[in-house]
């Protein structure tokens, strides 16, 4: 049977509705699991947006995550500034080596131990929100500072480094940042992280950076620069995606007051945990990644993808696959969405997924308990969405209650 390929749009496609993936991906998915798009530079790439095929690509080592390979799909002009070591851009066995180095510090039990501190942070941040004159911006007051506080505590960052990163995280994560500004910010961050790693090697504490510096620096394991790069990577990965997911989840609840009211009736840990999985599915902040390039000819969904061809793996549209999630464009906090792909799949599944779940559960539960009458203080059309970032989100979320 010959698969009919859908028409070829230019990537990225505008969303239309800010809380839904572009409708063309749903149309393409219904016609076939794999389709072609044209990138900004005229290059062509494959898009995979159906749930089962997305899982298949992400666990297949014939698809490389290495952006230096010919044919790797670039969604914007390359920035001539090294952003440091990143697990998302490494293939096995190198990826396995670095991930195992970090994994002990991010086991679910260790992340669950962070819950009391996260709960206290959420409480303090909501105290500030409630003390604000109305409206209050939940991005600036909650969604940005909470993940920064949390990942800084896990890593062991002093407040000065945390605040510097918090101010510049949007620049670091942008698809087309100013190269000179980015180089300056990354240079300062690298210097601060290097000094911290050296300090923790001499005076270790109970944090991830101390373990990396004491247990893995030297003895043919990791160099000092690798320790610095890994710590910086965790800081980046542990903030931007969670921050935007918190903001998008709150917006989704505000756009569905019946769902917020249902949660407020019984904001128990069990009910909140189920609701968070649905919010992760529904919002899926990963926008222009994962990306892959085939290193061999591979058949996906009846389509042959040849070696050297780029592949865009779209988690958001895959999480709206009606064959897996009935009525997928409806937010249903009672739905069992644990199979969602918001954290990816396979060897590159998000290392910090357990920590992100703790943060989201604490935010959603606290908002349902303390601010059940929360509502937007502006029209959705007035909100400024991050359409140009690798991670989708909102720049400000003004609310009242």
User: Tens digit of pLDDT for each residue in 198-212?
Assistant: 999 999 999 999 999
pLDDT attached to residue 179: 80
pLDDT attached to residue 32: 83
- Average of per-residue pLDDT across 98-124: 94
CB 161 within 8 A of CB 152: yes
DSSP 374: -
Q: Which class for 156: exposed (0-12), middle (13-18), buried (19 or more C-beta within 10 A)?
A: buried
pLDDT attached to residue 181: 85
In CATH, which of 3.40.640.10, 3.30.70.100, 1.10.630.10, 1.10.10.10 is domain 23-400? 1.10.630.10
pLDDT attached to residue 84: 57
Q: Does residue 321 surpass a pLDDT of 70?
A: yes
pLDDT attached to residue 81: 47
pLDDT attached to residue 303: 94
∠ CA 320-291-298, nearest 5°, is: 90
Q: Return the percentage of the chain with pLDDT > 90, whole number.
A: 70
Q: Does residue 5 surpass a pLDDT of 70?
A: no
* Range scoring the smallest mean pLDDT among 40-54, 95-109, 345-359: 95-109
Q: Does residue 122 surpass a pLDDT of 60?
A: yes
> Residue 239 — very low, low, confident or very high, per pLDDT cuts 50/70/90?
confident
Mean pLDDT, the chain, whole residue set? 90
In the chain, where the domains are located? 23-400
> Residue 4 — very low, low, confident or very high, per pLDDT cuts 50/70/90?
very low
pLDDT attached to residue 1: 45
> Residue 289 — very low, low, confident or very high, per pLDDT cuts 50/70/90?
confident
Q: Does residue 79 surpass a pLDDT of 70?
A: no
Give the residues across from 313 on adjacent strands: 48
4 vs 45, which has greater pLDDT?
Answer: 45
pLDDT attached to residue 175: 62
- Average of per-residue pLDDT across 37-49: 93
- Average of per-residue pLDDT across 312-324: 96
Q: Does residue 98 surpass a pLDDT of 50?
A: yes
DSSP 328: T
The H-assigned helical ranges of 77-176 are 94-103, 108-112, 115-131, 138, 145-155, 159-173
CB 310 within 8 A of CB 67: no
Quote the CA–CA distance of 270 and 272 in Å, as a whole number.
6
Quote the CA–CA distance of 207 and 150 in Å, as a whole number.
12
- Average of per-residue pLDDT across 329-347: 96
- Average of per-residue pLDDT across 125-132: 94
pLDDT tens digits for 144-176?
999 999 999 999 998 888 888 877 776 776 666
């Amino acid at each position: 049977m010959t698969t009919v390929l859908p028409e070829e749009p230019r990537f990225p496609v505008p969303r239309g509705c800010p809380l839904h993936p572009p409708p063309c991906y749903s149309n393409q998915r219904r016609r076939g699991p794999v389709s072609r798009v044209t990138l900004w530079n005229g290059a062509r790439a494959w898009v995979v947006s159906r749930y089962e095929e997305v899982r298949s690509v992400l666990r297949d080592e014939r698809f490389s995550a290495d952006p230096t390979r010919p044919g790797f799909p670039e969604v914007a002009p390359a920035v001539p500034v090294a952003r440091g070591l990143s697990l998302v851009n490494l293939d096995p066995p190198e990826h396995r080596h670095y991930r195992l180095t970090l994994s002990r510090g991010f086991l679910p039990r260790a992340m669950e131990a962070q819950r009391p501190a996260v709960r206290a942070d959420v409480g303090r941040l909501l105290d500030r929100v409630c003390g604000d004159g109305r409206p209050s911006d939940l991005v600036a007051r909650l969604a940005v500072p909470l993940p920064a506080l949390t990942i800084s505590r896990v890593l062991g960052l002093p407040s000065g480094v945390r605040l510097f990163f918090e101010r510049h995280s949007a620049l670091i994560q942008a698809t087309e940042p100013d190269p000179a500004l980015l180089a300056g910010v990354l240079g300062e961050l690298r210097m601060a992280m290097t000094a911290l790693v050296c300090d923790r090697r001499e005076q270790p504490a109970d944090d991830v950076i101390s373990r990396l510096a004491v247990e893995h620096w030297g003895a043919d394991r990791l160099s000092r620069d690798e320790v610095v790069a890994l710590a910086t990577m965790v800081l980046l990965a542990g903030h931007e995606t969670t921050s935007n997911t918190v903001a998008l989840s709150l917006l989704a609840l505000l756009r569905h007051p019946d769902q917020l009211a249902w949660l407020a009736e019984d904001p128990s840990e069990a009910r909140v945990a189920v609701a968070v999985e649905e919010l992760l599915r529904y919002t899926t902040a990963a926008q222009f990644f994962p990306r892959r390039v085939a290193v061999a000819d591979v058949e996906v969904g009846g389509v042959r993808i040849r070696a050297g061809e780029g592949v865009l793996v779209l988690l958001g549209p895959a999480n709206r696959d009606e064959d897996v999630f009935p009525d997928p464009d409806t937010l249903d906090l009672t739905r069992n969405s644990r199979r969602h792909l918001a954290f990816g799949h396979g060897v590159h599944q998000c290392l910090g997924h357990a920590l992100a779940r703790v943060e989201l559960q604490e935010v959603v539960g606290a908002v349902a308990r303390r601010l059940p009458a929360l509502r937007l203080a502006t029209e959705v059309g007035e909100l400024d969405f991050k359409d140009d970032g690798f991670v989708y989100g909102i720049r400000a979320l003004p609310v009242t209650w």
